[in-house]
A and B are shown apart, each in its own frame.
Chain A
């Protein structure tokens, strides 16, 4: 070996800048660090993302539309409500049942007498069950004293909007109740909201409609 061969080998062995070999843009240590952390991140995401997705999936899932017959049309009159109990959530027995107060459409309120109004008993404050008190003609909530008039509009207490309603239809002379919807203070139907949430105006954006509910009629 002579000196001429010695010099380039030394250049190869001691790269400049230190740690960088010819044509490399980063040190090997750094490359391996990035690769190991990247792979770890991919592996972690492969576990976490499906699990989290699985847990939050019900937010985006809408169940099958459910209609249940609650009695012949002749059962219902226009000047008072009749209480019916039907299944809203299947598979959990009595806990899945809910109560609606149903009457025929009344000319007093400019309603078609061939339609039926089904008012949910779920209080618009925090979801307690309200009761229709015939003597007062009002719906009254036992929990925090919410009071609603004959149409379900709030007239007292903490509720933030009128009582929810259910869609109704007539099949084979029987009244059927369907999906729930909420109403504004003017009784205009909007997509179902949970109790405690305002409806109408800017509230439609502050409490956005949920994909798990059915569109308003």
Chain B
């Protein structure tokens, strides 16, 4: 695979102490030595404009250094962004980031949809129609949210499948698997509660069926149904309840758990795919040689004949 050169970071954003020093022979004169022609042609004095220009060039580095001095973020960021990944890391490893991206799409489009949506049984359908038909780009944003939800569910399952088939859930990553399962359940909760919000025929009956499936759980099922509907029948409170769960309760939990999930990914690192074998240490002798060594030692000492032949 051809090596892609990393883009060079411009000096203006690197704080002065971290810059690469100039190579010897370049970048003017050696330290402590005046140029030979100083007397014949004294250096021109910098104008104020030039000074300001120099200061402006340093400004981004100064700002970053100011923030870094007060947060210590650069150490954390370098550790996170430049962490080592195992050999064999491939495109399947991007499914988690893809799921995260799908979640961000849902969060951003959801925030803007909430600006036009009315969670009322009498106005919900009309407000969705208004978004789709009248609001500029409304159909696009609504479409991104609607299709993006399916995409997120598909991606999270693929991500889970990758983790399972690569054995990446094993020690010491079990806790991250558990967090991931909770995130999967929360994602399904989002998909379920979001389905009712347009409040058209499909939404209504799909939610009726979904709630009734919840109700078939023994003992607690009937109460769970009542909790979801906020009563014995699907009504006005059901819609507000689903809206609140969909845009306040679950997103907060998802964001918090994604934070924990990613912390553990960075902390524990990723696994190599199962088909990549562990490398043998370079200075260790092959097993055959070790055996030969034992044999020869035995013959030299004259005490291991029986053992080596048996």
Total CB contacts across the A-B interface at under 8 A: 85
- Please state if B209 and A213 are interface contacts (CB–CB under 8 Å): no
Which B residue's beta carbon lies closest to that of A193? B222
8 A Cβ contacts from B97-133 to A: 121-122
Q: Which residues of A contact B122 (CB under 8 A)?
A: 92-93
Contacts known (A88-B233, A127-B212, A194-B212); A59 close to B121, Cβ less than 8 A: no
Q: How far is the CB of A40 from chain B (nearest CB, A)?
A: 20
Which B residue's beta carbon lies closest to that of A91? B236
Q: Which residues of A contact B231 (CB under 8 A)?
A: 58, 61, 63, 89, 212
Pick from B199, B215, B219, B227: contact of A194, CB under 8 Å:
B215
Q: Which residues of A contact B121 (CB under 8 A)?
A: 91-93, 95
- Please state if A210 and B209 are interface contacts (CB–CB under 8 Å): no
- A 99-111 binary contact with B (CB < 8 Å = 1; else 0): 0000000000000
- A 186-210 binary contact with B (CB < 8 Å = 1; else 0): 0000001111110000000011111
Cα(A58)–Cα(B205), bound, Å: 21
At the interface, yes or no: B221 with Cβ under 8 Å from chain A? yes
Interface size class of B (residues with CB under 8 A): 20 to 34
The dominant DSSP class at the A interface is loop
Pick from A91, A92, A143, A210: contact of B232, CB under 8 Å:
A210
At the interface, yes or no: B270 with Cβ under 8 Å from chain A? no
At the interface, yes or no: A96 with Cβ under 8 Å from chain B? yes
At the interface, yes or no: A70 with Cβ under 8 Å from chain B? no
Q: Which residues of A contact B235 (CB under 8 A)?
A: 89, 91-92, 95-96
Q: How far is the CB of A112 from chain B (nearest CB, A)?
A: 28
At the interface, yes or no: A170 with Cβ under 8 Å from chain B? no
8 A Cβ contacts from A103-125 to B: none
The dominant DSSP class at the B interface is helix
At the interface, yes or no: B93 with Cβ under 8 Å from chain A? no
Q: How far is the CB of B193 from chain A (nearest CB, A)?
A: 14
At the interface, yes or no: A126 with Cβ under 8 Å from chain B? yes
At the interface, yes or no: A77 with Cβ under 8 Å from chain B? no
- Please state if A197 and B199 are interface contacts (CB–CB under 8 Å): no
- Please state if B234 and A126 are interface contacts (CB–CB under 8 Å): no
Interface size class of A (residues with CB under 8 A): 20 to 34
Q: How far is the CB of A210 from chain B (nearest CB, A)?
A: 5
Pick from B218, B223, B229: contact of A206, CB under 8 Å:
B218
Q: Which residues of B contact A210 (CB under 8 A)?
A: 222-223, 226, 232
Cα(A209)–Cα(B221), bound, Å: 11
At the interface, yes or no: A128 with Cβ under 8 Å from chain B? yes
- A 47-67 binary contact with B (CB < 8 Å = 1; else 0): 000000001101101010000
Which B residue's beta carbon lies closest to that of A122? B208
Q: Which residues of B contact A194 (CB under 8 A)?
A: 211-212, 215, 221-222, 225
Q: How far is the CB of A208 from chain B (nearest CB, A)?
A: 6
Q: Enumerate chain A interface residues (CB-CB to B < 8 A).
A: 55-56, 58-59, 61, 63, 88-89, 91-93, 95-96, 126-128, 143, 192-197, 206-210, 212-213
Q: Enumerate chain B interface residues (CB-CB to A < 8 A).
A: 121-122, 199, 204-205, 208-209, 211-213, 215-216, 218-219, 221-223, 225-227, 229-237, 239
Q: Which 6 A-B pairs have the closest CB atoms?
A: A92-B121, A58-B230, A194-B215, A196-B216, A89-B235, A206-B218
**11 residue pairs from A and B, CB less than 8 Å apart:** A89-B233, A91-B235, A91-B236, A96-B233, A127-B208, A128-B208, A128-B209, A194-B215, A195-B215, A207-B222, A212-B231
